[in-house]
Chain A
Amino acid sequence: MNDKIKPAHQVGPVSAFFIPQTMQIGIGYLSFQHVITKYSQQDAWLAALISGAIILGILWVVLRLLENERQFGMPDLFSIHSRIFGRRIGTFLNLFTVTHILLFTIMFLRSYVEIVHVWVFPQMSTFLFSLIFCSIVWYIVSGGIRTITGVCLLSFIYLMPLSILTLFIVPHAQFANLQPFFDHSPVTLLKSCYKLTHEYLGFELLLYVYPFISHPREARKWAFRSVLTTIYFYTTALILAIVYFSQGEMQNTIWPTVTYWKSVRFPLVEHIDIIAIVLLLWSLVPNICLCSWIIARAVKFTVPKIKMKYSLIVILALIISGTTMIHSGLQVKKINDVYATYGALIIYIYLPILLFCQWIKKKCGRGAAS
């Protein structure tokens, strides 16, 4: 397992841009304004910037962890766990992080199904949809990491029109809504920052993909650019939502982005919102693909005998059953909350501690050697 990845199975350094970017921008893009502005009203965009800056710091931690690990073999989280904590505890910690990824796939798939239920097809069957969807995922993941990265790139290209749609807000904008600037206490801003974690999560998946990226030095630059792009998208989306909705209306709107899409009108194409929601399926595909690939790799790492193509089927069955078990919008909201708290725990607390442990290990190792 500790063999180096063959160059034929590696992807170029630019993938470090597309992978975290597509993982971060997802279903949260449709509804996050509603949650964030609850605490810091017109200053919410400031929270997006602060939170983004913190995420850049965490990204540095992630890359540091991986680079320190390179000299000992595979630079990914599984190897870090088993090297620092030993095989048994390492496996347990793998389970801890991989559960979060499984939760991510179920949360994402189910939230998307909920949006389709509300906006497009109330009668759509959750089970059949996730079954078809997961068979597509199975097909893509069978192609390996290179195919998955390709899908990430495609997703980025296909979702570009959605960000252009946002420009139609500008004629309706009430820029006075943004004033007065900086009128909120740091506590409310931090609350908003915490809520934004849900949106920024996803970049930490680099921890698993990193060994497959060639030219790590360049890849690191692309990773930072990717998070900067995400910050740009979220900050502009927030500012535009603030100038477009009055605060009372924003608190009344569950999916501000989609509600705004409802007001875009083209001469021949009505209901841009429905088209955009269907197009958003393209943000779902790479997310679920990469996540199930990671889980399959975790299985392979723990029990090398099981081939990835077999474990993948079990994983997808798990995802389908998990998705089907969630019935109501309230449960979707709850699983979103659990996912966000869990994720915040991992990136804000667990990863820095891990970096510290790695450092201790290095010191101890040196002491023993000399």
Chain B
Amino acid sequence: MKQKAVLIAPLIALLLLSGCLPTSILDDVLLVEAEGIDYLGNEKVMGTITMPNYVENPNPGSAGAGLPTTASMLRHLSGVTYDGKSLVDRFQQSGQMPIHVGKIRLMLFNTAMAKKGLYKQIDLRNRDPDSPRDMNFAVVEGSCRKLLTSADYQTQIPVARYIQDMIEQNTEQNYPESTMESFMYAYYGDYMDPFLPIIRKQGDHIAMHGLALFKNDKYVMRLSENRVFTFKMLFQKFNQGVYDYEFAPNKHIALKNVHTDVNYKVKNGNSAAPDIYASVNVSAQVRQSYPKTLSKTTGPGMEKKLNKHMAKEAVQLVRRFQRKQIDPLQLGQHVRSYTRNFDGKSWPERYPNARFHCKVDVTIRQTGISE
């Protein structure tokens, strides 16, 4: 009898406990997939959220995989609120079903918002235990609301997934990694500034459009697409991507990156003008070339030209960052890791004077199957 009581007591308690907690069954909630924030001025923003809309399976024979046939669900909501407001709470009143954050993939800001400063939005995301750290942030040229709510895209999949797929495949190539994880790393870290990709709607599709470089939380500088390769080459190791080199007017050669790695060395890290040495190794294959300019014999000459050109570009790039006093390449972090008793307080004043030296070593592995 006693043993029975012991067994039954926890069961009753379990029943009671499950009764206390609100459930969130996937079919009965609206999972926010993307949030977009457009700045209107005067601390007001236009917020937009999108939810996935599971369209009924067109082939009835293969249905029954348990997919909810809820083509009638809400797809997006937008409205005006103040900067830093959790959009999920803002739109709960217009939710057909409870709105949850669960699996958010994307957070978009328009350029006005990014220029104004994102610190309230970042704090909101960083505080939220639900948002996954592999979600993507991006800056939108134009209106986030239009980008998220347009119905004229060629693809049928929800726009949030479309954008995330696009950003993800690009970060495997020319663009540096820009998930929430890397953004928070640079935003909260000392001696570095974050960056985000810029996207924009072009007719019936969306395209990457360079990088937005931040100073703390404010968007201050745009890096155009053709500089993104150089940026990534200085930022991290990677093994895909295409570099386009115009060696003479209207004569191009395109390198497909096979492998790139970068090493930093720092001298006099605590002096007024530290020396930062970057040495980059690029091994690449030629994808395209101006006819009759490149073969196995002329390869080395082209390599030398490329070495010079890419190093010059890199130095110019860093000089631009120094002038704006931003450090998206995390050079300060490299200086810190090479300097004992690093003087962090005076670093912001010393950074613009730092001397950046870059040495690029390009190896052309192969030039294709024709001579």
Q: Which chain A residue has the least Cβ–Cβ distance from B10?
A: A135
How many Å from the CB of B135 to the closest CB on chain A?
10
Chain B contact-residue range equals 35 or more
Q: Is A70 an interface residue (CB 8 A)?
A: no
Q: Is A129 an interface residue (CB 8 A)?
A: yes
Write out the residue numbers on chain B whose beta carbons fall within 8 Å of the beta carbon of A129. 17
Write out the residue numbers on chain A whose beta carbons fall within 8 Å of the beta carbon of B184. 249
Q: Is B300 an interface residue (CB 8 A)?
A: no
Q: Is A327 an interface residue (CB 8 A)?
A: no
Residues of B1-47 whose CB lies within 8 A of A: 6, 9-10, 13-14, 16-17, 20-22
Write out the residue numbers on chain B whose beta carbons fall within 8 Å of the beta carbon of A178. 337
Q: Is B98 an interface residue (CB 8 A)?
A: no
Write out the residue numbers on chain B whose beta carbons fall within 8 Å of the beta carbon of A180. 337-340, 342
How many Å from the CB of B86 to the closest CB on chain A?
15
The proximity string for B residues 34-64 relative to A, scoring 1 for CB distances below 8 Å and 0 otherwise, is 0000000000000000000000000000000
Write out the residue numbers on chain A whose beta carbons fall within 8 Å of the beta carbon of B339. 180
User: Looking at A121, A128, A248, A270, which has the most chain B CB atoms within 10 Å of its CB?
Assistant: A248
Q: Which chain B residue has the least Cβ–Cβ distance from A179?
A: B337
How many Å from the CB of A290 to the closest CB on chain B?
20
The proximity string for B residues 262-301 relative to A, scoring 1 for CB distances below 8 Å and 0 otherwise, is 0010000000000000000000000000000000000000
How many Å from the CB of B55 to the closest CB on chain A?
21
Write out the residue numbers on chain A whose beta carbons fall within 8 Å of the beta carbon of B348. none
Write out the residue numbers on chain B whose beta carbons fall within 8 Å of the beta carbon of A64. none
In angstroms, Cα B131 to Cα A129, docked, is 26
Write out the residue numbers on chain B whose beta carbons fall within 8 Å of the beta carbon of A260. 133
Given the known inter-chain contacts A139-B6, A183-B341, A263-B132, please indicate yes or no for A246 contacting B21, CB distance below 8 A. no
Q: Is B185 an interface residue (CB 8 A)?
A: yes
Write out the residue numbers on chain B whose beta carbons fall within 8 Å of the beta carbon of A229. none
Given the known inter-chain contacts A118-B129, A131-B13, A132-B13, please indicate yes or no for A176 contacting B188, CB distance below 8 A. no
User: Looking at A139, A172, A246, which has the most chain B CB atoms within 10 Å of its CB?
Assistant: A246
In angstroms, Cα B132 to Cα A248, docked, is 20
How many Å from the CB of B338 to the closest CB on chain A?
7
How many Å from the CB of A165 to the closest CB on chain B?
14
Q: Is B333 an interface residue (CB 8 A)?
A: yes
Q: Is B192 an interface residue (CB 8 A)?
A: yes
Residues of A158-179 whose CB lies within 8 A of B: 172, 174, 176-179
Assess the B129–A246 pair: CB atoms within 8 A.
no
Chain A contact-residue range equals 35 or more
Q: Which chain B residue has the least Cβ–Cβ distance from A248?
A: B188
Interchain pairs with CB closer than 8 A, number: 89
The proximity string for A residues 108-120 relative to B, scoring 1 for CB distances below 8 Å and 0 otherwise, is 0000000000110
Q: Is B103 an interface residue (CB 8 A)?
A: yes
Assess the B13–A249 pair: CB atoms within 8 A.
no
The proximity string for A residues 176-197 relative to B, scoring 1 for CB distances below 8 Å and 0 otherwise, is 1111100100000000000000
Q: Which chain B residue has the least Cβ–Cβ distance from A252?
A: B188
Q: Is A262 an interface residue (CB 8 A)?
A: yes
Q: Which chain A residue has the least Cβ–Cβ distance from B180?
A: A263
Write out the residue numbers on chain A whose beta carbons fall within 8 Å of the beta carbon of B9. 135
Write out the residue numbers on chain B whose beta carbons fall within 8 Å of the beta carbon of A263. 132-134, 179, 181
Write out the residue numbers on chain A whose beta carbons fall within 8 Å of the beta carbon of B192. 246
Q: Is A136 an interface residue (CB 8 A)?
A: yes
Q: Is A222 an interface residue (CB 8 A)?
A: no
Q: Is B186 an interface residue (CB 8 A)?
A: yes
Given the known inter-chain contacts A136-B10, A248-B190, A252-B126, please indicate yes or no for A123 contacting B21, CB distance below 8 A. yes
In angstroms, Cα B135 to Cα A271, docked, is 12
Q: Which chain A residue has the least Cβ–Cβ distance from B182?
A: A172
Q: Is B189 an interface residue (CB 8 A)?
A: yes
Q: Which chain B residue has the least Cβ–Cβ distance from A128?
A: B17
Q: Is A245 an interface residue (CB 8 A)?
A: yes
In angstroms, Cα B333 to Cα A179, docked, is 10
Residues of A266-316 whose CB lies within 8 A of B: 270-271, 273
Assess the A123–B22 pair: CB atoms within 8 A.
yes
In angstroms, Cα B102 to Cα A326, docked, is 29
Q: Is A331 an interface residue (CB 8 A)?
A: no
Q: Is B334 an interface residue (CB 8 A)?
A: yes
Q: Is A341 an interface residue (CB 8 A)?
A: no
How many Å from the CB of A284 to the closest CB on chain B?
16
Write out the residue numbers on chain B whose beta carbons fall within 8 Å of the beta carbon of A249. 184-185, 187-189
In angstroms, Cα B16 to Cα A138, docked, is 20
Q: Contacting A247 at CB < 8 Å: which of B13, B22, B134, B189?
A: B189
In angstroms, Cα B334 to Cα A80, docked, is 56
Assess the B103–A270 pair: CB atoms within 8 A.
yes
Q: Which chain A residue has the least Cβ–Cβ distance from B341?
A: A183
Q: Which chain A residue has the least Cβ–Cβ distance from B14?
A: A132
How many Å from the CB of A245 to the closest CB on chain B?
7
Q: Is A318 an interface residue (CB 8 A)?
A: no
Assess the B132–A270 pair: CB atoms within 8 A.
yes
Write out the residue numbers on chain B whose beta carbons fall within 8 Å of the beta carbon of A270. 102-103, 132
Assess the B190–A247 pair: CB atoms within 8 A.
yes
Assess the A125–B190 pair: CB atoms within 8 A.
no
Assess the A135–B13 pair: CB atoms within 8 A.
yes
Q: Is A99 an interface residue (CB 8 A)?
A: no
How many Å from the CB of A27 to the closest CB on chain B?
16
Q: Which chain A residue has the least Cβ–Cβ distance from B339?
A: A180
Write out the residue numbers on chain A whose beta carbons fall within 8 Å of the beta carbon of B22. 123
Write out the residue numbers on chain B whose beta carbons fall within 8 Å of the beta carbon of A179. 337-338
Write out the residue numbers on chain A whose beta carbons fall within 8 Å of the beta carbon of B334. 176
Q: Contacting A172 at CB < 8 Å: which of B16, B132, B181, B187?
A: B181
Residues of B168-212 whose CB lies within 8 A of A: 179, 181-182, 184-190, 192
How many Å from the CB of B27 to the closest CB on chain A?
16
Assess the B134–A123 pair: CB atoms within 8 A.
no
Q: Is A68 an interface residue (CB 8 A)?
A: no
Given the known inter-chain contacts A246-B188, A247-B189, please indicate yes or no for A128 contacting B20, CB distance below 8 A. yes
Write out the residue numbers on chain B whose beta carbons fall within 8 Å of the beta carbon of A131. 13
In angstroms, Cα B103 to Cα A260, docked, is 16
The proximity string for B residues 116-149 relative to A, scoring 1 for CB distances below 8 Å and 0 otherwise, is 0000000000100101111000000000000000
Could you list 6 further interchain pairs (A-B, Cβ under 8 angstroms) beyond the known A123-B21, A174-B333? A118-B129, A132-B14, A177-B333, A179-B337, A247-B190, A265-B134
Binding site for B on A (CB under 8 A): 118-119, 121, 123-125, 128-129, 131-132, 135-136, 138-139, 172, 174, 176-180, 183, 245-249, 251-252, 259-260, 262-263, 265, 270-271, 273
| CB pairs A–B below 8 angstroms (18 shown) | A123-B20, A123-B22, A132-B17, A172-B181, A174-B185, A176-B333, A177-B333, A179-B338, A246-B186, A246-B188, A246-B333, A249-B185, A249-B187, A249-B188, A262-B129, A262-B132, A263-B133, A271-B102
- Ranked 7 nearest A-B pairs via Cβ: A246-B189, A263-B133, A249-B188, A179-B337, A248-B188, A176-B337, A262-B133
